[in-house]
Chains A and B, each alone.
Chain A
């Protein structure tokens, strides 16, 4: 949503400049008006398209098992029973704890390690830098499904199967390249002069990093943290393949194993409720950090 509005504003601003520059200002103003209306319709259309499935899931989660198949968007008898069910049965609560724990640990580890790696990549020229970066990218692009078989066997024989570290490790493998690429881009944007100024002011390279570079990279750190967190939170493949009990199974995998109160009823309502519950933290997180992500924190550092 934000991306498209920013795009609209930017194009609007460009139009403004063009309108000033040219004598045909009136015509330009008219076309700008038409344009912004077009943009609005476009934005509404895209948002509706993206939101409809979410609304549908929300609607399903409020329906009783008898009404699930009625095809109506607005439930005839909305109830929170499905939510009560999933929170009272152990099938959901324990996986939710697993999800939160595993995702948070992976995020923190990945961002810390990636911050150091990305800083080195952005600032230092060392042999094999290009290889490292393209290697990281290749790993991020690697189809996880192709390693899942061997991983399953290795995990079973090393005792990592069905444990938290057993999921954190593969998540790190895929999250780190993402985080390194995002953070390296942010570090490159920070003027090198700031760091040199800090060094002349008496700071060791580490102090300069911690007190000058890191605070400025906060938007980048949040951005990569969110990307990594969402990646771990949403993962289904590793979660379903490398776990067998609720000791490490995360929510996306667990919902697949939902059972209803009777064998003859589909647990559609509960699954929908679980889907809504796991979506909420992501939405809240993005809303909280949106400002930090977008903020141009380096404004005023150097001239321009």
Chain B
């Protein structure tokens, strides 16, 4: 087991494009770190640079105390689970799992012992003498993990290991991976595009976009305190509502209501609010509520506004209401760019809609007017130029479960141009 340290890691292709730009990331010994981002954000490339299947153009990669930039994969002592499992089809499950040990010339009795132990942990004992072709998807996945754990490597690397499984199996294997990582306490880097996996598995999550790390933090901090628009839009499902707003003094004007921001929020906004200021406002669906369900005590802490309900999705424990509103075109460009990045449908346009998560007991009806309450304490404000969050709390240190993680975020870049070194976020 070992820590993994990345300093200014860059992957540059011959044509000059950068798949990974100036990544600084410290992964503590025993920590479970997730690399997450939309497809093409460079997360897999970064993982393959850690394991040595991709060359490092610039920067330093250390595993433990060793600089591994120029080491072949076989000399890095890492174990990787591939997206398509990459089991050796001509070998049985037993031989597949024994393969790395045989290569390392481990003595045969020890090989048998370790393979059987791993098979027991992964519940593969009955399948040890079968070929991969005769296994189900979940079993193949386990064999791939078995091949990783028999070796007791310095770190486990997972490259979207669950993306080939069906939804039910995915949940099951997710808990399995968490269990095994805890059992062995091995440093783990896990690549996924699925934010549920990212949020449930990781001690810390690194969000990537176009090869640049946007924010590294605990899942909780990512959700509650996103560093910029991209993280805000990417993390959370349904995703955060993003809408145009104007701030004058402590009054925030939204397309459908006006909101008085509490002092606590105002104190966090850098630059003050002396003059009128165009902003992008982010509100999570759960920070709306049916006004009738809000206690009299809480009501003044937000704003109540009337809205038509265009559609309702009742999920049993909760209820999603869709609220149409006129967005205007003030920030359409930024939101469209973000939507394209996140593979979402267009967020802007003349007619937009909010998603609100209401109490399941709410009696709001489709195609009717309802009074909706918006929690003023929980709105996020973003600079429309740079996309950076204006309402961030101070980055918390020692946020991770292992006490090693600190919040790392893309640096503030006025005007939105990319600088490199600290992983500046680009304009959205």
Contacts and interface: CB of A to CB of B under 8 A. Distances in A.
Contact of B78 (A191, A200, A207, A300): A200
Contacts of A201: 74, 79, 99-100, 103, 147, 151
B133 A299 contact: yes
Interface stretch (B87-95, B168-176, B383-391, B397-405): B87-95
Nearest to B81: A197
Contacts of B78: 200
Given A199-B72, A204-B74, A193 B82 contact: yes
A145 interface: no
B73 A303 contact: no
A183 B73 CA distance: 27
A202 interface: yes
A297 interface: yes
Given A301-B132, A303-B85, A199 B53 contact: yes
Nearest to B89: A301
B89 A200 contact: no
Interface in A117-147: none
B88 A301 contact: yes
Q: Which of A203, A211, A303 has the most CB of B within 10 A?
A: A303
Contacts of A300: 87, 89, 131-135, 140
A299 B89 contact: yes
B85 to A, nearest CB: 6
Contacts of B180: none
B51 interface: yes
Contact of B73 (A193, A196, A297, A302): A196
Contact of A191 (B52, B72, B84): B84
Contacts of B99: 198, 201, 211
B77 to A, nearest CB: 8
A207 B105 CA distance: 13
A301 B133 CA distance: 7
A197 B100 CA distance: 10
B48 to A, nearest CB: 9
B132 A202 contact: no
B318 to A, nearest CB: 34
A86 to B, nearest CB: 43
B80 interface: yes
A303 B135 contact: no
Contact of A202 (B90, B104, B133): B104
A201 B100 CA distance: 5
Contacts of B86: 191, 193-194, 196-197, 301-302
Given A199-B74, A303-B137, A297 B89 contact: yes
Contacts of B100: 201-202
A203 B80 CA distance: 13
A271 to B, nearest CB: 45
A302 B88 contact: no
Nearest to A300: B133
Contacts of B132: 300-301
Contacts of A194: 86, 88-89
Contacts of B134: 300
Interface of A: 191, 193-194, 196-204, 207, 211-212, 215-216, 297-304
Given A198-B99, A202-B103, 8 more contacts: A194-B88, A197-B82, A199-B72, A201-B151, A202-B104, A215-B90, A301-B132, A304-B84
19 contacts: A193-B84, A194-B86, A196-B53, A200-B52, A200-B73, A201-B100, A201-B103, A201-B151, A203-B103, A207-B103, A216-B89, A297-B89, A299-B89, A300-B133, A301-B86, A301-B89, A301-B132, A302-B85, A303-B164
